[in-house]
Amino acid sequence: MRNTGRKRGGGRPLGRICAAYCLAALAAALGWLYSSLPDHISLEPGQTLTLPRFAYIEPMGGSGARNVASTRTVGSYQTTLSIGGVLPVKTVRAVITPRPSVLVCGTPFGVKMFSEGALVVGFTDISGPDGAPRNPAKEAGLRLGDRVICIGDTATENNDAVKTALENAAGQPVRVVYIRDGSQQQTVLTPCWDAAAGQWRAGMWVRDSSAGVGTLTFIDEENGVFAGLGHSISDGDTGQSIALRSGEIVPCEIVGCTQGTAGSPGELKGKFIGSHAVGSIEINGENGVYGSTRTSFAGQVMEVAFAQEVVAGPAQILTTTQGQTPRLYDVEIEKVTDAEAVRNMVIHVTDPDLLAQTGGIVQGMSGSPVLQNGRLAGAVTHVLVNDPTRGYAIFAETMLAQAEAIETEE
C-alpha cells in the first residue's frame, strides 16, 4: 500500500521561518530601543536611576533598593541599562552632579552678527566688453553658500574688502580662497569690467552680516553666560549657518506679529532699543547662540530638568508677544526623544490666548523656555510649517552643556 501521509518533520521549515522572523523582529525592536535610549544620564547625588519614558528599563541587576545610582556620590561611571534588570540593552555613562539652576528669561533680544568671510548669496550676469553676458564667479565654480575668505592678498572679512580686492586685480586672474561644506578650497577668478557701474565686478552678491530677533532662554548668573534661540543663526537666502567672526546682543521689544498659517510661518516683529550691547556672542551653534553678558537680566531662578525627566504631558512656554514682558502659555509635550541632537520634543500650543495672538509658534519665539513640573525642561526651536500650532524644542540640559563649554574656555 502506498503511504500518502506527510513525511515526518514536514513542519520544521515553517517553524524555522517563524523563528527567523521572530528573531528579526526582536533584533529590530532592540535596535530601536538602543537608538532611543540616551548615551548619558545625569542624576543628583542619591537620585535613583529611573527613565520615566521607559518604565521597563532599569540598571542591570539594580532593581529597587539595589539601584546602584542611589548610593553614588559626585562623579561618573558606566552602567548597563536592561529590560527588567535582566536583558542588557545599552551601556551608558551616568553622571552624578548637583542639580543646576539658571535664571529663566523668555524675553526678546536683538542679534547682530558679522560673518567670517563674505557669504555668496546670489549671482548676477555682467555685460562684457563685447556685450555678451558673463558671470566670472560662476565661471570660477563658485556656488550659493560658499564663504569667500580671501581674494588675492586681501582677506575678505566684509563686502568692502571684496570690492577692494576686485579693483586691485583690475581684470587679471586672481586666486580666490573659499569655504564649502566646512572644507577650504580655492579657484581662479577673472573680474569683468562693468561699464554701467564703472567698476570691476565678479557677478556675485555677498553678505558679511546678519541681524534679527529671538528669545533669550536663560542666564547662568554665576558665570555670566547667556543662551538663546536653541538653533543656529542662518542666512535667510542660502540657509547656511553663519560662521561667526563677531557678534553682540542688544535690548529689543516686540512691536507686532504676523500670524502663522498652514504653509506660511508667522513672525514676531521686533525693534532694537538703542545700540548699547548687553552681551557678546561667542558661539553660533546648531543648538543655539551663546556668549558672555555685560549687564543683569530679569527672570526667575529655576532648576534645570535632566533630559530623562522630560515626559509627554502638560507644560508651559514662557514667551513675549508684545513689549518686553514674557507670559506663560499652556502647551502639551506630545513626543520626547533622545535619538536626535536638537529636535527632542514636539510641543502643541493649546493656550487659546496664544493661538489668538500668533496662531501658535512663530519666528522670533525660538529660545522661549519650556517649563514642566516647576523646572526648565527645554526651549522652543522651530515651527512645523504645515501646522503652526506645533513646533520642536530642545532639552535645556543640552543647551546648558554648551553654555558650560564657554565657561571652560574662559
Residues 341-365 have pLDDT tens digits of: 889 999 999 999 999 999 999 988 9
- Note the pLDDT of residue 178: 92
- Note the pLDDT of residue 239: 65
**DSSP SS3 for 135:** coil
Residue 194 annotated in active site: no
Q: Is 193 exposed, middle or buried (0-12, 13-18, 19+ CB in 10 A)?
A: middle
Residue 351 annotated in active site: yes
- Note the pLDDT of residue 373: 95
- Note the pLDDT of residue 235: 64
User: Which grid coordinates belong to 244?
Assistant: 561667526
158 pLDDT higher than 50: yes
Q: Judge contact between 293 and 225, C-beta under 8 A.
A: yes
Q: Judge contact between 157 and 245, C-beta under 8 A.
A: yes
Question: What would the pLDDT profile of 165-220 be if each residue is shown by its tens digit?
Answer: 999 998 899 999 999 888 899 999 999 988 877 889 998 988 877 778 889 999 99
Q: How open is the CA angle 396-70-311, to the nearest 5 degrees?
A: 35
Nearest to 30 by CA among 5, 56, 49: 56
Average pLDDT for residues 86-108, to the nearest whole number? 90
One-letter identity of residue 270: G
> Cα–Cα distance between 229 and 364 in angstroms, integer?
8
Comparing 63-77, 147-161, 218-232, the range with the smallest average pLDDT is 63-77
Average pLDDT for residues 229-243, to the nearest whole number? 72
Provide the percentage of residues in the chain whose pLDDT is more than 90.
37
Average pLDDT for residues 113-120, to the nearest whole number? 83
pLDDT confidence tier of residue 39, bands split at 50, 70 and 90: confident
Question: What would the pLDDT profile of 74-95 be if each residue is shown by its tens digit?
Answer: 788 888 888 887 888 888 888 8
Comparing 96-105, 143-152, 238-247, the range with the smallest average pLDDT is 238-247
**DSSP SS3 for 235:** coil
Catalytic residue, candidates 82, 115, 210, 366: 366
Average pLDDT for residues 9-18, to the nearest whole number? 67
- In angstroms, how far is the first alpha carbon of the chain from the final one? 94
72 pLDDT higher than 70: no
Q: Judge contact between 403 and 225, C-beta under 8 A.
A: yes
- Note the pLDDT of residue 65: 43
Average pLDDT for residues 296-300, to the nearest whole number? 90
Residue 231 annotated in active site: yes
Average pLDDT for residues 356-377, to the nearest whole number? 94
Average pLDDT for residues 301-310, to the nearest whole number? 95
Q: Judge contact between 245 and 116, C-beta under 8 A.
A: yes
302 pLDDT higher than 90: yes
Catalytic residue, candidates 194, 330, 351, 387: 351
Catalytic residue, candidates 115, 231, 338, 382: 231
150 pLDDT higher than 70: yes
Q: Is 51 exposed, middle or buried (0-12, 13-18, 19+ CB in 10 A)?
A: middle
- Note the pLDDT of residue 396: 95
Bigger pLDDT: 95 or 241?
A: 95
Q: Is 253 exposed, middle or buried (0-12, 13-18, 19+ CB in 10 A)?
A: middle
1 pLDDT higher than 50: no
Q: For the chain, what is the mean pLDDT? A: 85
| Rg, the chain, Cα only | 28
- Note the pLDDT of residue 237: 62
Spatial neighbors of 10 by CB under 8 A, at least 6 apart, are: none
64 pLDDT higher than 70: no
Average pLDDT for residues 7-27, to the nearest whole number? 66
